[in-house]
Each structure stands twice: as C-alpha cells, then as structure tokens.
Amino acid sequence: MYVTAIFLIVSVLIFIGFLSNYFFDRTKIPDSLILIVLGILLGPVTNALFPGSVIAQIFRPDVFEGFAGLMASLAIMVIMFETGLNLDIRRVVTEAPRSFFYATAHYFTTAILSGVFAALLFGWDWPFAFMIGFLLGGTSAAIVIPLGKRIGLNSEEQTILELESTITNVYNVILVVAVAQYVLTASTDWRYPIQSILAAFSISIVFGALVGYFWQKVLRRLQTAPFSYMLTFAVLMAFYAIMNEFGGNGPLFALVFGLTLANVHLISPLRMVNMIQLHREISFFIRVFFFVFLGVIFKFSTDPLHWLFVGILSIISLTARYFAARLMNMQSSIEMATLIPRGLGEAVLSALLLQMFAGTEYMPVIADMVQIVSIAIIMTNVFTAAMVWYLLRLKGSAQTEPETSSAQTTSM
C-alpha cells in the first residue's frame, strides 16, 4: 500500500511542479512558494490533523529532517551545475569583481546588523548573535537564480546574481561553522575564518577548472558512447563530495565544473546542447522535491520576538541589497533588492548546529535559532513572491500603456 501511495504522490507532485511553473508565467506567483506551502500541508498540517493517515506516515517531518543534509547537497549541486552550464566565461570574468563586491557588501551588512538586533532582542552573547546573522546573511541560490531569469534581469545582472549567491553560500557555511567552533573550543584565532574562506575559494575553483577540462577530453574520446551524461553526473557527485570533505566548497566546484564544460569546446555543440537539456529535466525533478521537502520540515514558532527579528532581518537584507546595487549603478536595483529568499541550505546549517551543540548548555539558544530559520525561510519567500508578483504586474502595465497610446495615435 505504501509503495502505491508513494508512486501516486510522486506523480502528483511532478504534475503540480509543472503546473506551478505554468502558473508562475500566468500569475507571477513563484512556483517555489506554491511547492513550499504544499509541503507544509502534507507534512506539519497533515501530521497535526490526521496523524494516522497514510500521507502523515509518509511525510513525517522528523524522518525528513534526517535527510536534510542529503537533500540540500543534491539540490544545490544540481542547480549550481546547471548555472555553470548556462554561463559564458567572458561574462563571468568581466562580472566576477562586481559580483564579489555585491555579495560581500550586502552579506556582511545584513549579517552584522542582524547580529546586533539579535543581541538586543534575545539577550544572546555576541558569538551567538552573530552566528544567526551569518546563518541568514545570504540567499538561496536554488530560489533566486530561477527567479532572476523570470523577472527580466539583463545578462550582466543575472551573472552577478548567480555568482553572488554562490559567494554568500561560501560565506555562511564557513563563518557559521567557524563561530560555532570558536564557541566550543574557546579559540581566539581570528585568522581561521579568513583562511578557511580563501582555501575554499581556491581549492574549488582550481579543481572545478581542471576536472572540467580533462573531462571534456574524456567525452571527446567517448564520442557517441551511450550514457556519457550519467558518467558526467557521477564525476560531478564524486568531486562535490571530495570538495566538501577536504576543505573546498561543493557548490562553487559544481559551478566552475559546469562553466568549464560549457566553455571548453572540445566536443560538438549539439552534444553539449543535448547534455544541458537532459540536465534541465533532472534539475526540474530535483527542484520540485526540494521545495516540498522544505515545507515538510517547517517548524512553527509562537514567540513574537522570533517573527519580529525575521521581519527586521528582511528589511535589512532588502535595504542592503538595494544600496549595494545602486552603488554599482545596476538598472534593476529594485529587482535585485527583492530577491531575499532563504532556503534549505540555511535549514541544513541550523540542523548542523543542533548536532554540534548537542548535550551542551547552549542548546536552548540553538533551538531558538532553528525556529527562527524556519520562520525566515517562509517569510522571506512570501515577501519575495509578493514583490516579484507586484513588479511583474507593474512591468506588464507599463508595456500595455505605450501600446494603447500608439493605437490611439494611429486611429487619430
């Protein structure tokens, strides 16, 4: 019975994922929000109202939480590899310094100011206050990259968005772990976070470029051998795991690996197009279950201070992104500012903190952080969905007016 139910549920989720994608084009409501809400209904809501049902047994949040690390890594790996496959190396080289400035400016502004508010609202010690700031300082690449394409960013701004989401992913992973280790070991070595960031960047970029170049040569030798894409995917997974295990950054490796494959033209363009198309299909499948998963593991909090803090965080993040974009003279400063959603990466980091601090006196603070992260994921996605819908409707109205005026002039 469970097998039949699971097969039917998977089928229905794929249909809903396809329809929500179509729904976005029609209504401008992001498909990510629809799928997250669906996950909440299937997980927390069904378990609370119908605990004995088959759906409640399948979508148990406590079981899903055990797979958070795997799901997050898989989703981010697939999304970042797809991003790399669609990037032009010349645009990347041109926009890399701007992306680094944009990511660094808005990330640290958001993280530091949010840390200050966390200390004031909750009375936490500074390391914990800045830990939640670093944890929620960036955005979810799996959400902002597709949204950036849909709200009409130009090619330069889209490249900046794709690179900055990768850079902030590196920041929040390394800095959160560094602060946690500082608290647990009482280390006072301020150089550790900086060394970790530089090491993660250099290792991932070098390996991504080298592996991508040599794998292109392998693909050329394989010629028309079947299943070459699956071998490529196996290489991606293997080195993603190696990067995460030995001090690199998996998402950054996936980005550079895809970028190198797409821009070192050792195989036929048709073969590369087929590979990209197949990966997009896999990316769609993973993305649907990624967002539903996010809803299933949602944790609701009744503490008004938690909600107040996330509201303040959202305002700070939006403002920091807007002024950073204005400083760089971006045409779509408002559009860039509205892309503030947090995602499964933040949920996984909060779960990692639960493991690191298990059995210590700091567990009450960490438990509060987990609830805050859950609220931030939902609130920032709802806010982004509302703003994206409004901006796209505004653009639609602006395009309609000139057409109407032109028609009236012609009739006269």
The tens digit of pLDDT for each residue in 251-265 reads 788 888 988 888 887
* Angle ∠(282,347,207) on CA atoms, nearest 5: 55
Predicted confidence band at 99 (pLDDT cuts at 50, 70, 90)?
A: confident
Both tokens of 254, joined, read 């996936």
The whole-number pLDDT of residue 112 equals: 95
Domain boundaries defined on the chain: 61-389
The whole-number pLDDT of residue 310 equals: 94
Q: Tally the residues of the chain.
A: 412
Dihedral sign (CA 212, 218, 221, 224): negative
| pTM above threshold 0.75 | no
Please name the residues in contact with 96: beta carbons below 8 A apart, sequence gap of 6 or more: 163
Tell me how far apart the alpha carbons of residues 95 and 41 are, in angstroms, rounded to a whole number: 41
The whole-number pLDDT of residue 409 equals: 55
Determine whether 32 is exposed, middle or buried from the number of CB atoms within 10 Å of its CB (0-12, 13-18, 19+).
buried
Tell me how far apart the alpha carbons of residues 40 and 355 are, in angstroms, rounded to a whole number: 24
**Which spans in 151-268 are helix H?**
155-185, 191-222, 228-245, 250-263
Predicted confidence band at 109 (pLDDT cuts at 50, 70, 90)?
A: very high
Helix (H) or strand (E) holding 6: helix 2-27
The average pLDDT across 69-92 equals: 78
E strands in 247-366: none
Both tokens of 107, joined, read 């990330």
The whole-number pLDDT of residue 20 equals: 84
* Angle ∠(172,291,47) on CA atoms, nearest 5: 110
Tell me how far apart the alpha carbons of residues 387 and 405 are, in angstroms, rounded to a whole number: 27
* Largest CA-CA distance found in the chain, in angstroms, rounded: 79
The whole-number pLDDT of residue 175 equals: 81
Mean pLDDT of the chain: 83
Percent of the chain with pLDDT over 90: 22
The whole-number pLDDT of residue 313 equals: 95
Task: Count the neighbouring beta carbons within 10 Å of the beta carbon of residue 411.
Answer: 6
Percent of the chain with pLDDT over 70: 90
pLDDT over threshold 70, residue 410: no
Q: 262 versus 355: which is more confidently predicted?
A: 262
The whole-number pLDDT of residue 76 equals: 76
The whole-number pLDDT of residue 402 equals: 59
Tell me how far apart the alpha carbons of residues 104 and 137 are, in angstroms, rounded to a whole number: 10
Q: 331 versus 95: which is more confidently predicted?
A: 331
Q: 32 versus 262: which is more confidently predicted?
A: 262
Q: Range with the lowest mean pLDDT among 47-56, 137-146, 203-212, 392-401?
A: 392-401
pLDDT over threshold 70, residue 405: no
Both tokens of 320, joined, read 């920091």
Q: 142 versus 369: which is more confidently predicted?
A: 369
The average pLDDT across 360-386 equals: 88
The whole-number pLDDT of residue 407 equals: 55
The average pLDDT across 135-154 equals: 82
Dihedral sign (CA 112, 117, 120, 122): negative
Tell me if 366 sits within 8 A of 131, measured CB to CB: no
The whole-number pLDDT of residue 308 equals: 95
The whole-number pLDDT of residue 70 equals: 78
Tell me if 131 sits within 8 A of 369, measured CB to CB: yes
The average pLDDT across 134-152 equals: 83
Determine whether 395 is exposed, middle or buried from the number of CB atoms within 10 Å of its CB (0-12, 13-18, 19+).
middle
Q: What is the pLDDT of residues 167-187, one digit of tens each?
A: 887 788 778 877 887 787 765
Q: 158 versus 141: which is more confidently predicted?
A: 158
Q: What is the pLDDT of residues 268-313, one digit of tens each?
A: 776 777 888 888 888 888 888 888 888 888 777 788 999 999 999 9
Query: Which range has the top average pLDDT, 78-82, 238-242, 351-355?
Result: 238-242
Amino acid, single-letter form, for residue 96:
A
Phi/psi for 389 (5° steps) reads -60, -45
Predicted confidence band at 80 (pLDDT cuts at 50, 70, 90)?
A: confident
The average pLDDT across 83-108 equals: 83
The whole-number pLDDT of residue 305 equals: 93
Tell me how far apart the alpha carbons of residues 22 and 33 are, in angstroms, rounded to a whole number: 14
1.10.1370.40, 1.20.1530.20, 2.30.30.100, 1.10.8.60: CATH of 61-389: 1.20.1530.20
DSSP label of 247: T
